[in-house]
Amino acid sequence: MKLFRSKKAQDMLDDSLSYPRLVDLYLPDRITELEDCVVIDDTYCRVLVVDAIPEFIHFGWFDSISSYPGVTISVALYPYTHEEASNRVGKLQMVLGGELILAEKNQDTRRMDVLQEKYYFYRELLKDINLHRNNIIAASVVILIAAPTHDELVRRTSKVKDILGSTRATTMYLRQIEGLRSALPFIKPSSEYHDVTVANAACLSPLISTDFSHPSGIFFGRNETGSPVFLDLFIGQPRLFGNNMLIVGMTRSGKSYACKGTIARSVASDKRAVILDPEGEYRNLCEYLGGTHIRFYPEMKPMFNPFDMVPSWDRERGEYVDIPTKIDDIVSLVAFIFESYGSNENMTVEERALAGQAVRLEYERLGINENPESLFRHDEVLSGEGITAGKSHKEMPTISSYVEMLRKLKMDRLVNVMQPFLRGGPQGFFDGQSDRSFGDSPVVGFDISSIENETTKTYIMYVMLSWVWEHFVKKNRHVQKIALVDEAWLFMKQKDTANFLSQTARRGAKYNNSLIVASQSFREFTSEEGIVLMNQCDTKFFLKLQQSDAEALGALFGLTENLVERLQNFQRGQGFLKAGSESAVVYFSGMPFEEHFLRSDPEAVLSR
C-alpha cells in the first residue's frame, strides 16, 4: 500500500507558510493506493482498462455505461502515418494468412471460416490504407469507477462489466495510480492500446450529442448546438426508469406536431400505436401509415364494451383474470358518471362498495373467475366428420345488465343516473358487446371531435382507454406499444379519472407499453393526482407555456429563473426535454415528406 500526500497537506505542516495557494485548495488531502483501487479522500475509485475491442462497433458504443453513476470514460487516440499503418496491417495480414494455411492443412473448418473472414477484412483494409482512403489509430480506453464505499465499488464494477459483456474490461492490479493518471485529461494515456480503424475510433466517443441523446430510438430533433437528438422511450435503466412520457405546450406551440412525429417515427420503427384524439387531428396520420380511424358520433352503434376482460400477466402468477382491478376501474367510471351527470354530489362509501359488488356479481353470473379459461365457453360442433370441440369468448356483462344488477341491490340513485348511458340513450355509446378487432393494424386513432359536450368527451376517453388497456396493451406483451392520450387535462378534472390515467401509466410497464400524455395546459397537473401521474412519466417535453404555467412548472421542478423565462418565449417546436436525469433544449423538427400529415394548423391545411 502506498500513501501519497498532496502539496496542500504538506504545506499545512509547514508553519512558515501562512496562506496556501488557490490550486492547493482543490487538491485532495490524500490518495491511498491499494492493489485493486485507490482511495481519494473518502471516495473509493477503481480503474479498468479495456483489453478487447470488437472489430465492428457502432456509434455511441459506450453510451450504455457513460450515464451509469460514478463512471468516467477516458479515450486517448493517436493516429499512425499511412506508412506505419500499412506496415502494421501488412504484418497482421501475414500472420493471419499463415494461421489460415495451417487451419486448412488440419481441416479445422470452424477456425477456417473465422480466419478467412478476418484475412479478407484486413486485405481490404490494407488496400484502403495504401490508397489513403482509410487509416488506423492507436486507441487506449480507461474506465474510472467511483463509489462512496468499497462494497458499492465492487457492485458498480460488476454492473459495468456485465453491461460491456464481451468487451473485456480488466482491473489494473497494482497499477491503479498509473490508471488514474491515464483517466485524467492531458496526462499520458495507458500503455495498453488497440489498433482501430478511423470509423471505430469515432464510435469510441461516449456521447452522440454534446447535450443529450440516446444511442437508439427515433430522431426527435436537434439540440441548441445543432447535434441530432435521438429518443428511446424503451431504453430502460439506467437512462430511463419508465417508458411513459408527458408532452405539454400551449396552443400553436408545436405540441400536436411533436406528438404526431413521435407516433409516426415509432410506428416506422416497428412499434404499434393507439391514439385517443379529442380534436380530430390524427386522421391524416392514421391514413398515411395504413392504420385504422374510428370516428365517434351521437347515436353510433355500440362497438366497445367497458366490461371486456383479457388475461393479465404477472411474473410470479403467470396469466390470470384480474377481477379486483376491473372492479376498481368500473366503480371509478360509475363515480365519474354520478358526480358529473348527477346532482354534483359524491358517491357515498356504501354506494361505492355496492357498485363494486354489482360488478363482481355480474362476472360470477357468467362463471368468470381468476382462471383464464373461465373467459371462454367450450362448444361442441356436429359436422359430417363427427363432433368437434372448440372454444370461443364468452359474452361479457353490459351496462344494461349491470344497471339491472344495481336495481336488484336497490341502488336507485345510481340506476337513475345511469339511464342515459343505456343503449338508445344520448350517451349509449358503449352498452353492448364489442364487435370490432383491429388485428395487426399499425396505428388506430379514436376521433372524438364530433362530440361537443366536454364531459361526454371525457366519458368516451375513459371507456376507450379502459378498452385499449384490455385489447391493446395487455395483448402481445412482448411487442413494444405506444398509447397516446391527447388533451389529457380532461382526465385531470376529477380525482377518479385522474387516478385511472395514473394507474394505466403505472401498470403498462410490464406489458411493454409506453403511455404518452399530452396537454395544452400544465395547471391541471399541479394537483396531487397530477403530480403522481407526472412521476410516472420519466420523460417530459415542455414546449412554450403561458407565464402562470411556466412559473408553476419552475416551482415544481426547481428550474432556474432563466429557463422559466425561456419557456415563455420558446419558438414553435422548441422545448425543454427531460429524460431521466438528462435534459436539453431541443427543437422538434419534421422531415419534408412528413409535413402533410404532421401539420394541423389552418395555414398548412390551405397550403395542402
CATH of the domain at 281: 3.40.50.300
CB neighbourhood size of 512 (10 A): 16
The answer on 523 and 394 residing in a single domain is no
Residue 16 has pLDDT above 50, yes or no: no
How would residue 60 be classed by pLDDT, with cut points 50, 70 and 90?
low
Would you state the pLDDT for residue 207?
47
How would residue 8 be classed by pLDDT, with cut points 50, 70 and 90?
very low
Question: Which CATH number covers residue 414?
Answer: 1.10.8
Query: What's the mean pLDDT when you consider all of the chain?
Result: 84
pLDDT tens for residues 243-266? 999 999 998 899 999 999 999 999
User: End-to-end distance of the chain based on CA atoms, in angstroms?
Assistant: 75
Residue 545 has pLDDT above 60, yes or no: yes
The answer on 447 and 573 residing in a single domain is yes
Residue 212 lies in a domain: no
The answer on 466 and 371 residing in a single domain is no
How would residue 556 be classed by pLDDT, with cut points 50, 70 and 90?
confident
How would residue 410 be classed by pLDDT, with cut points 50, 70 and 90?
very high
- Among 406, 433, 460, give the residue marking a domain's end: 433
How would residue 604 be classed by pLDDT, with cut points 50, 70 and 90?
very low
Q: Which residues contact 293 (CB under 8 A, 6 or more apart)?
A: 282, 283, 286, 287, 444, 445, 447
Partners of 294 in the β-ladder:
446
Number of domains in the chain: 3
Would you state the pLDDT for residue 182?
82
How would residue 58 be classed by pLDDT, with cut points 50, 70 and 90?
low
Phi-psi region of 518 (alpha: psi -120 to 50; beta: other; left: phi over 0): beta
The answer on 594 and 458 residing in a single domain is yes
How would residue 509 be classed by pLDDT, with cut points 50, 70 and 90?
confident
Is 527:492 a contact under the CB 8 Å cutoff? Answer: yes
Q: CA dist 303 to 85, 87, 106, 286, 387, Å? A: 69, 73, 70, 19, 33
- Out of 190-199, 379-388, 499-508, 567-576, pick the least confident: 379-388
Residue 210 has pLDDT above 80, yes or no: no
The answer on 309 and 296 residing in a single domain is no
DSSP 8-class letter at 372: G
Is 104:112 a contact under the CB 8 Å cutoff? Answer: yes
Task: Give the whole-angstrom CA distance, residue 68 versus residue 86.
Answer: 38
The answer on 550 and 452 residing in a single domain is yes
The answer on 468 and 362 residing in a single domain is no
Task: Give the whole-angstrom CA distance, residue 96 versus residue 481.
Answer: 47
The answer on 472 and 530 residing in a single domain is yes
Would you state the pLDDT for residue 63?
64
Over residues 112-132, mean pLDDT: 85
Residue 1 sits in which domain range?
1-33
Residue 271 lies in a domain: yes
The answer on 587 and 572 residing in a single domain is yes
The answer on 527 and 462 residing in a single domain is yes
How would residue 305 be classed by pLDDT, with cut points 50, 70 and 90?
very high
Q: CA dist 431 to 325, 330, 417, 486, Å? A: 21, 14, 15, 25
- Among 385, 403, 433, give the residue marking a domain's end: 433
- Among 405, 433, 461, give the residue marking a domain's end: 433
pLDDT tens for residues 154-201? 999 998 888 787 677 889 998 888 888 888 765 566 667 778 887 777
Residue 223 lies in a domain: no
Residue 152 lies in a domain: no
Residue 381 lies in a domain: yes
Angle between helices 399-408 and 349-365 (to 10 degrees): 120
Residue 572 lies in a domain: yes
Residue 341 lies in a domain: yes
* H-type alpha helices, 385-524: 399-408, 412-418, 454-468, 495-507
Would you state the pLDDT for residue 365?
94
Q: Beta strands 443-447 and 292-295: pairing type?
A: parallel
Would you state the pLDDT for residue 299?
79
CB neighbourhood size of 578 (10 A): 19
pLDDT tens for residues 445-465? 999 999 989 999 999 999 999
The answer on 577 and 483 residing in a single domain is yes
Question: Percentage of the chain surpassing pLDDT 70?
Answer: 87
Question: Percentage of the chain surpassing pLDDT 90?
Answer: 41
Residue 183 lies in a domain: no
CB neighbourhood size of 243 (10 A): 26
The answer on 352 and 294 residing in a single domain is no
